[in-house]
C-alpha cells in the first residue's frame, strides 16, 4: 500500500440519499470546484474499509486535478467517518449505489447541456463493484471509460489465497479492520447475524459467511461469491476498460486470471510481476517513493476524457 503519500487535499462532503432510504457520502476535491462543467469528471471507488482519505484515492485525485479534471470519491455504505442508517453495510457486488449515482450525475449534466465525459476508477473491492456494474450495464452507462486496479476478480479464489504464506498476515490485518468496523455499527444485541461466529472468524471466508452474506441477503459465502465475482461479468463490458493486477498481490493466484475468451473486446488486462496490493512503487527513494498507478490510470483514460459526454 502507498503508505508514504502524506498529502491531504481539501475535500467537500455531500450526502447522497439512496432510493432505499439509506445514505452514503461523496467527497469532492475542492481544488476542482471552479473547473467548468464541461471538464471531465473522475469518480473513484475505494477498496475494503477505505475512504477518500485512502492514500491511493488522494494520489489519484491530485493527479487528475493536475490534468484539469474534476474528481470525487463515492463512499461505500458505512465507510469513512460517517455511518449509514440501515442495518447493513456494503459488499463486493453492490452495484445499485454506483448506478444510482451515475444516473443522477448524467441527468444533472444532461440538463445543464454542457457536461463533460464521466470516467471511473475502482480499487480492490471497488474495482470488483465497477467491473460488475459495467458488465451488467453494457451500453447503458454514462461512463465513457474505466480502470480497475488490484481486483479480486474471483472472490472464491481470492479468499482462499489469503490462507497461505505472507497473505495470512494481510488476512489478519483485514479481519481486524472488518471486525472493528462491525463493532462500531452493531453489538451482540443489535446484529442481524450470529455475533459469536462473526467475532470468532479467523479467515476472510468465515467472516463473509457469518456477516457479509446474511447482512446483505445472500444464502452464504458460496452464494455471495458466485453472484458477485466480477470475473463472470467481464464479457459483458462495452466501454473501454483497463484492468491492472499484480501477480504478487496477496489476493492473487493463477486461477484468478481470466482467460482471453472471458474478456470483452473493450477490456484490456495488464498483469505486473510486482506491485502488491495497490502498491506499484516505480522508483524514488525509500522515504519518498514514486508510484506507477496514477500516471498509468490517467494515461489510459486521457483519450476518452477528450470526447463529448455520452
SS3 93: coil
| Beta bridge partners of residue 283, listed in sequence order | 290
State the cell numbers at 216.
Answer: 446483505
Mapping DSSP onto H, E and C, the string for 145-204 reads EEEEECCCCCHHHHHHHCCCCCHHHHHHHHHHHHHHHHHHHCCCCCCCCCHHHHHHCCCH
Q: Given 124, 167, 229, 230, which residue is catalytic?
A: 124
- Per the annotation, the verdict on 31 as an active-site residue is no
Q: Are 297 and 127 in contact (CB under 8 A)?
A: no
End-to-end CA distance of the chain: 34
Q: Are 279 and 183 in contact (CB under 8 A)?
A: no
Question: Based on C-alpha coordinates, what's the Rg of the chain?
Answer: 19
Q: Are 61 and 73 in contact (CB under 8 A)?
A: yes
| Beta bridge partners of residue 295, listed in sequence order | none
- Per the annotation, the verdict on 249 as an active-site residue is yes
Question: Cα–Cα distance between 50 and 73 in angstroms, integer?
Answer: 10
Q: Given 78, 97, 209, 249, which residue is catalytic?
A: 249
User: Residues 14, 71, 148, 138: is their CA dihedral positive or negative?
Assistant: positive
- Per the annotation, the verdict on 106 as an active-site residue is no
DSSP secondary-structure letter at 71? E
Active-site residue list: 124, 249, 277
Amino acid at each position: 500500500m502507498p503508505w508514504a503519500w502524506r498529502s491531504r487535499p481539501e475535500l467537500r462532503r455531500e450526502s447522497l440519499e439512496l432510493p432505499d432510504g439509506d445514505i452514503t457520502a461523496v467527497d469532492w476535491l475542492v481544488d476542482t470546484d471552479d473547473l467548468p462543467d464541461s471538464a471531465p469528471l473522475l469518480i473513484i471507488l475505494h477498496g475494503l474499509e477505505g475512504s477518500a482519505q485512502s492514500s491511493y484515492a488522494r494520489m489519484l485525485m491530485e493527479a487528475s486535478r493536475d490534468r484539469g479534471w474534476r474528481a470525487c470519491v463515492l463512499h461505500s455504505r458505512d465507510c469513512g467517518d460517517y455511518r449509514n442508517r440501515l442495518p447493513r453495510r456494503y459488499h463486493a457486488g453492490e452495484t445499485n449505489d454506483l448506478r444510482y449515482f451515475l444516473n443522477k450525475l448524467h441527468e444533472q449534466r444532461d440538463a445543464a447541456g454542457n457536461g463533460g465525459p464521466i470516467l471511473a476508477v475502482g480499487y480492490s473491492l471497488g474495482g470488483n463493484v465497477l467491473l460488475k456494474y459495467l458488465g451488467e450495464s453494457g451500453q447503458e452507462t454514462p461512463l465513457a471509460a474505466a480502470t480497475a486496479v488490484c481486483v479480486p476478480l474471483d472472490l472464491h479464489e481470492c479468499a482462499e489465497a489469503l490462507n497461505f504464506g505472507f497473505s495470512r498476515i494481510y488476512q489478519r490485518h483485514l479481519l481486524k479492520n472488518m471486525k472493528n468496523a462491525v463493532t462500531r455499527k452493531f453489538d451482540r444485541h443489535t446484529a442481524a447475524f450470529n455475533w459469536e461466529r462473526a467475532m470468532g472468524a479467523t479467515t476472510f471466508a468465515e467472516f463473509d459467511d457469518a456477516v457479509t452474506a446474511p447482512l446483505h441477503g445472500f444464502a452464504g459465502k458460496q452464494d455471495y461469491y458466485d453472484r458477485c465475482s466480477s470475473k463472470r461479468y467481464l464479457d459483458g463490458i462495452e466501454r473501454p476498460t483497463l484492468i491492472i493486477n499484480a501477480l504478487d498481490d496477496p489476493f492473487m493466484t493463477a486461477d484468478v486470471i481470466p482467460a482471453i475468451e472471458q474478456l470483452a473486446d473493450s477490456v484490456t488486462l495488464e498483469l505486473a510481476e510486482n506491485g502488491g496490493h495497490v502498491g506499484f512503487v516505480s522508483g524514488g527513494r525509500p522515504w519518498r517513493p514514486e508510484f506507477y498507478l496514477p500516471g498509468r490510470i490517467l494515461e489510459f483514460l486521457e483519450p476518452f476524457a477528450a470526447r463529448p459526454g455520452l
